[in-house]
Structure formats: structure tokens, C-alpha cells
Structure 1
Amino acid sequence: MLKVWGLMAIVLIVLAGKVSSYDRPGTRKNVVMHPSNDDDHMTPEQVHISLVGSDKMRISWITKDSIIPSVVYGTVSGKYESSADGTSSSYHYLLIYQSGQIHDVVIGPLKPNTVYYYKCGGPDSPQEFNFKTPPSQFPIKFAVSGDLGTTEWTKSTLEHLSKWEHDVFVLPGDLSYANTFQPVWDVFGRLVQPLASQRPWMVTQGNHEIEHIPLLHDQKFTAYNNRWHMPFEESGSTSNLYYSFNVFGVHILMLGSYTNFEPGSDQYQWLENDLKNINRKNTPWLMAVIHAPWYNTNEAHQGEKESVEMKESMETLLYKAPVDLVFAGHVHAYERFNRVYQDKFDKCGPVYINIGDGGNQEGLATKYQDPNPEISLFREASFGHGQLEVVNATHAHWEWQRNDDDVSVQKDSVWLTSLLADSSCKI
């Protein structure tokens, strides 16, 4: 059957310059993942990690009952030379859902490009995990995919990601698609654990993380802020919804599409300050991540405030920085733009890439504007993921892998030159 679909895919590819469309099988059902042992209230689950500064890692996990939030770790399996303690918390939602105990422990200092073995909850915990720290030299490898959800397509995308030896995974918003039904967050945590416990996941929020219900639940981002703690304080931010971080040679801005972004807002002032303090000699590459795209030729999500007004507010800040790449999600398809500023080609503008194609249950956004604007170089409505290898201070290679009937197939690729290497683009 897979061979039949593969032949159909070849037949159904329609090329229009550098733009292709692809008719593929439809949506797939959501995955259901229960705890491995409902009677075990102490075993860690939903384990994921994230970067904290240049030499530390945050370990996050959930248990049903309270435990001492501690992690033991070392560079040899079964031998844990170090330990660290952290914090625990939980949250209610609509008085009918009570989360488990959410634990966060920051460990380090850690050596670069090194495999560490760790246990959540102490040396007697039943399961050992491991992760590899990012290297302290080029090349640096990033995997990118947004709008994941918990479907069979999501599962396939995660399997493809696990086969590519990346250093960091970047997610431009819309994680679980719980849409206020909190148990889906638990399913999502279990689904991503095999990958998220081995490589740092750096995420920003999307519209599906808002989960605000008028009169019933006034607080926004309750689950997101409680479950996915990002290193916002280390970057001078006052909100988990926007922050920045470094991976050797690369500075990444994680911006919030669904919090205030107008001039004078906390996020705007933080971004101005963050950009002023970047040392481009140490981080020659500069990237930004948002959820709602500023450039988009798909018919889906046109004219939304979070896209239009945020672009009007912040585009010039990114252009003057200058930012090399901007990743976005929200639109359930893939699209790569040329270097752009104020809706036109500009050799000193960022390359915009929309990659909200992780595999969510809402399906694909299959309709594009016609004719295709010249600034859009490649667009296709398929699930998949991206691979960015920053080779050195001046060059990087980007490719997009289509999730082609459970086989990862390269469909778009391009070499990129850092704007720092172009003397006509002033820093």
C-alpha cells in the first residue's frame, strides 16, 4: 500500500516554477497514551529538557504524587557524580482538572558536546534517561517543526526527527492542541518524551496555548506556563511567553504572538534591549521565532491581528538588527520566502519560513493565493519538519523534509549566507 501511495505522490506533484502542490492522504486519528502504570504515583513521566544559559539544562517531569524534586546525573550510565534539587508545582483548570506534580530542576555546569545520563527523583528512580549537550563549535544543527498536536502524523514526524542527529529542537507554537481539555497535555507530554528527554526543546506559544474561557477561566496560558518553563529570566524577560537564548554562534529570539507587542509594551522594550546587547562576533547568526507568520501566501490565517500588527510593530527592529531567519507556524503548510522587508525583496532582510506542519488534527491548509507572489520561493501543503545546519559563521544549509507516507523525503533545500558576511548590510 505504501508503494502505491508513493507512486501516486509522484503523479500528483504539480510544479509551478519553484512552487509545488501535493495532494496527500487525509488527516489521521489522535494518539491515546495512558500512563505506563496507573498505580505508580512516583514514576517520572512527560520528561523533557530545555537549555538554561550556556552550560545548564532544565529537566522537567511529572509525577502523580509529591516527591523531592531532585535529579542525579553523570557522564557514565549508572554512575551519578552530581545531583541538584529544584521546585515542584501544580495547577487547577475549571475545578475539574488537577495536574500532577510538575517538577523542574536545573543541572550544571555541563560540558559541551557530551552525553549525560540522569534520573528524575533520585538514584532509586526506575528509569535512566540521557541527553547530549550542544557543541561549543560549528556546525550546530537545529530541527524545526510547529503545530504538532497528538496525531498519527505527529508521531511519524517525531520519528523522523529522532533519526536526525540534531542539537536543539525549535517549536514555533501550538504544542498539544488540548484546546482547554487538559488531559491532552498529558498525552502530548508522553508522546514527545522519547525525543524531548534527549534533546533540548525550545518552544514559544501559539493560539492553541491561550486556553482562556470568559467567565470560567480568566487566566491565559495556564497549562503552557506551568508545563513548559523556558529560560526567560536569564534573557532579561519578565514573561515565559518571550525570551532569547544562545547556542554556539547563534542567537535565537523566541517572540510572543499572543501577548502585547506594540511599541512601549514590555515585550517590545525587552526586544529592543536584547537586540542592543547581542555580540555578533560571538553569535554571527541571528534568528527569530514567532507563531503567527508575518508573510504568508496561503489563504489560511490572512489578515489576523497577530500577524499584521506584530509585523507593523517589530519588522523594522528585526531588519535593522539584522535578523537572518524568521520561523513561524500557525499555517498548516510549508512555505519559504526570499529575503524580504516591507513586502518586497531586500537582500538585507530575513528569510521567512513558515513551518506549521508538524501533524495536528485540524489538517493541512491546502489553498494558496494565485498567482504566486515573487517573494515566495517554495510552498507546499504537507506535513513535515525542517533541518537547519549552521556550518560556520557565514554559511548554513536549510532543508525541508516532507512527511511522505511515513517516509521522510527532502523536498526543499537552500544554502544561506549570514547577513553579517554581507558588508552592504550594516550591523
Structure 2
Amino acid sequence: MSASTSLTRRQMLRRLGLGAGAGLLLPGCNGGRGFAPQRSISPFQPRGLHVSLPGDAHSSRAVTWFTDGVEAPQSVVEYDVVTPGMSAQEIQTAPLRHQVEAESEPTTGIDAYTHRARFEIDPELPLRYRVGSAAGFSPVKVVQTTPSDTWRFVHFGDQGVNHRAEQLTQALSQEDYDLLLIAGDLSYANGDQPIWDDWFELMSPIMSERVTMTAPGNHEQKDFGGDAFKNRFTHPGTLTSDLFGAEPPNSFYSFDYNRVHFLVTTAGALIGDGTLPVELANIELDLANAALRRAAGQIDFIVVMQHFTIWTDQEGRSPANPTLVALEENIFLRYGVDVALVGHDHVYQRSVPMMLGLPNLLGYVQMMVGTGGASIRLFDDNGPQSWSAKEFVGIGYASYEVDGDTIRGVFKGAPPLDMSEEGRQFAEEGFRVIDEFEIKARGRILAQRFVHKPRPAEVLLADFDAIERHTLERNAHALKHCG
């Protein structure tokens, strides 16, 4: 170990308020709570604000927030537009002409209430809003419009609440993007519900002003079987719920953002809630419909976000997740999914277009970005598989620019101080470009190849008993080994 590296570590320990005898948080199953923000909020004061899409990306918004206590204040969202030339003071003080009453329900696991409001907005002007009740309101927040031309989104997973997660959040706050996607294992509460409050305190400055969509991970399963996740976020419905009038699950869903179709799945992370058969049918139906729309020229890309990887080179998990190879990959390949956004493994790895673990131009690109800060892990000693285009050890996030029929991507990361177990507790200051890539749309002629009728449930679920058993075994193994 060089003297400069040792000095860097001592400086970082001092900055984090840890003396030499404080003890390092070596890799564990939670994301680390040692760097949680300090909250001091009066009863009924809104906290944890976050914005999502309940429907059309241009004309609808949902806001979700929390208040403490065993009673729910009569909560509302008040909103209006930001007009050209409006000053910062006017944004905060000008009257808000529209109001929607929130739905309220007890927050899972703590004495608090979750409030959510869905409403239509002016697609041409930025949104300004505040939430609260007669007992107190939040400051006014501003959400920009959904762009109609070039736009950007960011993706990562596996964050937690610790100094690495704060580094990532600070970097994200300086990025220019329109949509934030988080691929599961968000808070690492692992049953300790107040950690969710710490995570929202960390992320709310971003999520209250940037549309954020999330997928559940295996660590969300440890919070009342996923109920804590479902309770704390507001998502759109599914094709199956729309067609059959079922209650939207709030854990798997889909939406369009301009000419990109996003399908968000649980990948079996919340199998205990009994919805996996319905979700498999929804994946089939949703992707069949998306493939038809792409061939008709209505969309350019089909993107799936979920927590679990399908193929991986992380140490201890290479070469693949057999459950998902059987459960999902054939559906992805049947309907020509373009990109799979995943987390779970705490490394960065981008694939070339691949199919069944081999490079194939007709396959999908897997973006494994489990680098949100929960921990920093290593790749196995066997070297990357043939599908791998880029690997990185550290923390970071992927940023994507969608420009017509092209997605241009960049991964920005910060490596650990060194590759030792101790050195991987800290990342270097500053994020730099680690990887750059480009994904082209398939085009309408090739897109025709992936148009198929959705298969009936009896075909999809013919081997469901085995799928369920293997998924349960995988989830138990992942949690036992700090998944």
C-alpha cells in the first residue's frame, strides 16, 4: 500500500468522523446505516417527497410523501405552472391555482402515513407544486416538462444509506437528466423500517424534482414481503390490470417515455406475494404489444428494468442466473427487447447484444449497474465471458441520451481506494467517464421479425411449479449471501 493511498484513507476517515478505532463497515447484507442524514421534522410536516408517472409522461404526474404520527392530516397537493420570466421568489410565493386531495394510508412498519396524489399537468410549462395540510406545507418544488425531442435518463441500483451512497447522490444532483430509474435494493432497510425514512431523506432533494421510477429488489422482500416498497411508491398500472379490471400491483408496471417503452418487472424478487403467475402473463402480453407497436413505427426501443441480472461475471455469481434464463430470457428474445437495465451485482458490466450467453446481434444489451453504493464487489477470476464489453469495480451510474433512433450511453464511476476488503469501503472522490457506448434502434423491417401473438397462460405456466421452486431457492440464496 502506498503512502498516498494510506493518507487518502486517513483523510476520508476523518471527513466521515471515524477515528482509527471506530471500526470499518466491512461488506454486509445491508447498505450501511452509519451515514444516515439527521432528521428533525415536526408532526404532520411533509417529508420524503418524490414524483413519478401515473400515466402519460407529458401530461400526468403523481406525488407521494409521508407524515409522522398515528393520525393522517387531510393532505393535498397544490400546483400550477412556472411561467416564462418567473423569479425564484415568485415561484415560491405566487398563488397555486389547482388543488388535488391526496389518498392516505398507514405507512408500512412505522407510525406514519403515506400520501399520494395523481393529477394532470400542462405539458408545455414546468410544474411547480407543494404538498401538505393545514398543519404545514413543503417548500414549492419545480419539475421540468417532458422533452419532445432529445432527452436523458439515469439508471443504477443497490444504494443503501452510507457514505458511498451519499457520494453517488451528490454526483447525481449535478447531472442533467429527465428521468431517474432505480433497479431495486433501494434502502437496504432489511426490516428496519426507519431506514426507509433515512433513504428518502437522502434522495428526496432529487426525487422531488425529477421523475423517478423504481423496481423492487430482493432486499425489498425483507420489508413485509415487499409491502413497504409497494406502500411507499406510486406507479402506473399494467396491461393485465387494465384489461381485466384488477388492482394494479404497484411492483411491476410499464410506461412510455416518448418513443421508448419501459417494462418494469420484479423478476421474482417478491414471489411471496403470489403475483408471479399474473406478472409472467403481463410480461408476455406487454412485450408482445410493444413489439407490434415498434414494428408499426410507434416506438423505437423496448427497455426492461428489473433488479436481478440474467448473465453476470461477479465473483460468486458467474456465469448466469439460471432461474431468469428460464423465466424471462426466452420472452425477451421472442419479442426483441433492446436493453435490460439491472442491478443486484455490485459491479458495472455492459454486454454486447447477446442471446443465451453468447454475442448475437439479434439479442439484447444488458446494462448491469449495481453500483449505487451499497458495497463494492469484485469480478471472478475466470475473466469476462464472451458477451462482456466493459467491466468496472467501484460506484457509479449510467446516463443515457435518447436521440431519435439512437441511445448514447455513458457510465461515470469512482473506483475504490484499492481492491482490498478495507479499501473497497471507500471510493475515490470525483466521478469520471469509464465507458461510452451507442445502441441503435432495430428499424421497422427487422422489428417485424419479433412480432408474435402472445402465448396463452397454459403455455407460459406449464412449468410454473419448477419455476416457483427455483425462484424461491435463488432468492433465499441471494439473501443468505448478502444479495
* TM-score normalised per structure 2: 0.75
| 2:278 equivalent to 1:266 | yes
Q: 2:160 aligns with which of 132, 140, 149?
A: 149
Deviation at 1:380, TM superposition (A): 1.2
Q: 1:232 aligns with which of 231, 237, 240?
A: 237
| 2:362 equivalent to 1:352 | no
Are the aligned partners of 2:396 and 2:431 in contact in 1 as well (CA < 8 Å)? yes
Partners of 2:156 and 2:344 in 1: CA distance: 11
Which residue number corresponds to residue 71 of structure 1?
77
Partners of 1:411 and 1:7 in 2: CA distance: 25
Are the aligned partners of 1:389 and 1:397 in contact in 2 as well (CA < 8 Å)? yes
Are the aligned partners of 1:235 and 1:245 in contact in 2 as well (CA < 8 Å)? no
Are the aligned partners of 1:57 and 1:108 in contact in 2 as well (CA < 8 Å)? yes
Which residue number corresponds to residue 186 of structure 1?
197
With over 3 angstroms needed to count, the CA separation of the structure-2 counterparts of 1:61 and 1:311, relative to structure 1, is same
Deviation at 1:163, TM superposition (A): 1.2
**1:184-221 alpha-carbon deviations (Å, 9 max, x no partner):** 01100111010010101110000110116xxxxxx411
Q: 1:242 aligns with which of 241, 252, 257?
A: 252
Which residue number corresponds to residue 314 of structure 2?
298
* Identical positions, percent: 21
Partners of 1:331 and 1:380 in 2: CA distance: 12
Partners of 1:340 and 1:89 in 2: CA distance: 44
Q: 1:43 aligns with which of 42, 45, 48?
A: 45
| 2:410 equivalent to 1:408 | no
Partners of 1:272 and 1:207 in 2: CA distance: 22
Are the aligned partners of 2:123 and 2:146 in contact in 1 as well (CA < 8 Å)? no
User: CA RMSD, aligned part only?
Assistant: 2.9
**1:222-246 alpha-carbon deviations (Å, 9 max, x no partner):** 2111112221357737422211111
With over 3 angstroms needed to count, the CA separation of the structure-2 counterparts of 1:181 and 1:349, relative to structure 1, is same
Deviation at 1:372, TM superposition (A): 2.2
Which residue number corresponds to residue 123 of structure 2?
111
Residue type matched to 2:236 in 1? Answer: P
- When structure 1 is superposed on structure 2, of 27-36 and 327-336 the one drifting more is 27-36
Residue type matched to 1:70 in 2? Answer: V
| 2:72 equivalent to 1:60 | no
Partners of 1:416 and 1:313 in 2: CA distance: 25
Query: Which blocks of at least 5 consecutive residues in structure 1 are unaligned?
Result: 9-24, 213-218
Deviation at 1:91, TM superposition (A): 3.9
In terms of fraction of residues, the more helix-rich structure is 2
Which residue number corresponds to residue 480 of structure 2?
none
Q: 2:185 aligns with which of 166, 174, 196?
A: 174
Are the aligned partners of 1:53 and 1:234 in contact in 2 as well (CA < 8 Å)? no
SS in 2 for 1:407: coil
Deviation at 1:30, TM superposition (A): 2.9
Which residue number corresponds to residue 21 of structure 1?
none
Deviation at 1:29, TM superposition (A): 6.7
| 2:440 equivalent to 1:417 | yes
**1:263-316 alpha-carbon deviations (Å, 9 max, x no partner):** 991111111111232222222111011211001011243478xx3222212212
Aligned length: 391
Residue type matched to 2:120 in 1? Answer: G
Deviation at 1:371, TM superposition (A): 3.0
With over 3 angstroms needed to count, the CA separation of the structure-2 counterparts of 1:425 and 1:62, relative to structure 1, is same
SS in 2 for 1:41: coil
Deviation at 1:45, TM superposition (A): 0.6
SS in 1 for 2:192: coil
SS in 2 for 1:406: coil
Which residue number corresponds to residue 334 of structure 2?
320
SS in 2 for 1:117: strand
In terms of fraction of residues, the more strand-rich structure is 1
Which residue number corresponds to residue 389 of structure 1?
401
Partners of 2:239 and 2:448 in 1: CA distance: 29
Partners of 1:277 and 1:86 in 2: CA distance: 33
Which residue number corresponds to residue 225 of structure 2?
220
Query: Which blocks of at least 5 consecutive residues in structure 2 are unaligned?
Result: 9-24, 83-90, 243-247, 416-427, 451-483
Are the aligned partners of 1:297 and 1:369 in contact in 2 as well (CA < 8 Å)? no
**1:362-401 alpha-carbon deviations (Å, 9 max, x no partner):** x211132423222111111110001011111x21101100
Deviation at 1:69, TM superposition (A): 2.3
SS in 2 for 1:210: helix
Deviation at 1:126, TM superposition (A): 4.8
Residue type matched to 2:81 in 1? Answer: T
Which residue number corresponds to residue 378 of structure 1?
390
Which residue number corresponds to residue 30 of structure 1?
34
Partners of 1:242 and 1:369 in 2: CA distance: 35
Partners of 1:116 and 1:424 in 2: CA distance: 36
* TM-score normalised per structure 1: 0.84
Which residue number corresponds to residue 378 of structure 2?
366
Deviation at 1:132, TM superposition (A): 1.5
Which residue number corresponds to residue 339 of structure 1?
353
Are the aligned partners of 2:311 and 2:319 in contact in 1 as well (CA < 8 Å)? no
Partners of 1:425 and 1:308 in 2: CA distance: 29
Partners of 2:152 and 2:114 in 1: CA distance: 29
Partners of 2:152 and 2:221 in 1: CA distance: 30
Are the aligned partners of 1:263 and 1:269 in contact in 2 as well (CA < 8 Å)? no
With over 3 angstroms needed to count, the CA separation of the structure-2 counterparts of 1:52 and 1:234, relative to structure 1, is farther
Which residue number corresponds to residue 311 of structure 1?
325
Partners of 1:129 and 1:282 in 2: CA distance: 33
Are the aligned partners of 2:413 and 2:433 in contact in 1 as well (CA < 8 Å)? yes
Partners of 1:341 and 1:234 in 2: CA distance: 26
How do 1:76-95 and structure 2 match up within 5 A? 76=82, 77=91, 78-91=94-107, 93=109
